[in-house]
A and B are shown apart, each in its own frame.
Chain A
């Protein structure tokens, strides 16, 4: 059990800057994110796309913004819990017990939900029949590639994950690669390699096809693919892999008894607290009249939510507003003279 002042759900720009503000006012926090890296949508969706509306930063990429935010909170040495997701939220005597999928447990008076539009999950096959094999022989990520040795592996997708795995597995498995169109969005060198492997019959390449059905009694046996004209083919398959990128899902947040408006959490604009005491929501996931889904709004919301956390984390202290330019206490916290 980890005791802390605040648990932040989401390591995107909003969560990171909220952590900074907590550090400035002398509170501790732990940050949990479902992705394996820090940065949220900035790093997962548009690491290379320039952003033009961060105040005083005329232009920066999602990756640059993330790196600067990480640098900005470095003095506070906060812990990140990546590749993990908050599953359960339960209150006991004014304290929130926060449990994650990996079995971590936090004990905190405050939870700040900075979860964007939810957590990133792999997009799955639309076919119902794929569900019963999900996690066993129908996979959306690879943990142990040795299981594919000498097996028939059917890979769907046109991005780098699909191409890289098709290339990698083609030396030890019988690989088929299926993509819905002729062009691939993966790196040009990988596309070239796939074409070469296909010419040498090391990979069975089917473009302008998509999944129709997966079949098997007990274990997976074959996969049926269809062209847009309705023509179908059946391929032998021990494993089916889908690489269609990630989608954002609200996930367990919907089950915590918070008021929801579509996929967002209504908050007050004084401190961004939700209908539950000690639970705050900031960034894209919160809603209030006039809400703008901008990173700069997330920064503002995080700064105010941090002050909101103070009264529950330090009930016997009075919060005093200080400027970073003038306060020696803040300079100590930042480790500057």
Chain B
């Protein structure tokens, strides 16, 4: 279980407890948190679950697998701290993680 903070582009914060084994994307979708669309349902095919992760946390997360950066190329305003939230698996280590949503997911 990890407490994860989702921060909308307008600054609105949502803190939820997400079970281990779910992805950060699923944590948002299951709790009806706006700002993460996840059109493809988590198959790393759409880049609509794009989030920004602050540097300290970004470096702590397991590294991106092949293909994630290719999809991020297609995200809305990707930056060097961009991730696809469907590729971040929740574990106890992620307790306290904050993710920032982009302005939109198109």
Contacts and interface: CB of A to CB of B under 8 A. Distances in A.
Given A41-B40, A123-B106, A228-B79, A248 B46 contact: yes
Given A117-B39, A247-B106, A45 B78 contact: no
Interface majority SS (helix, strand, loop, mixed), chain A = loop
Given A228-B79, A247-B46, A293 B73 contact: no
B77 A46 contact: no
Interface residues of A, number: 26
Interface in B79-105: 79-80, 103
A186 to B, nearest CB: 10
B28 to A, nearest CB: 13
A185 B70 contact: yes
Contact of B41 (A123, A210, A293): A293
A278 interface: no
A244 B48 contact: no
B73 A181 contact: yes
Given A41-B40, A117-B39, A46 B76 contact: no
B77 A126 contact: yes
A124 B106 CA distance: 8
A158 interface: yes
Interface string A89-128: 0000000000000000000000000000100000110100
B45 interface: yes
Interface string A245-264: 10111000000000000010
Contacts of B80: 228
B69 A45 contact: no
A236 interface: no
Contacts of A210: 77-78
Contacts of B106: 123-124, 247, 249
A247 B41 CA distance: 14
B31 interface: no
Given A45-B40, A159-B73, A247-B39, 11 more contacts: A41-B45, A45-B43, A123-B106, A124-B106, A126-B76, A126-B103, A158-B73, A181-B73, A245-B73, A245-B74, A263-B37
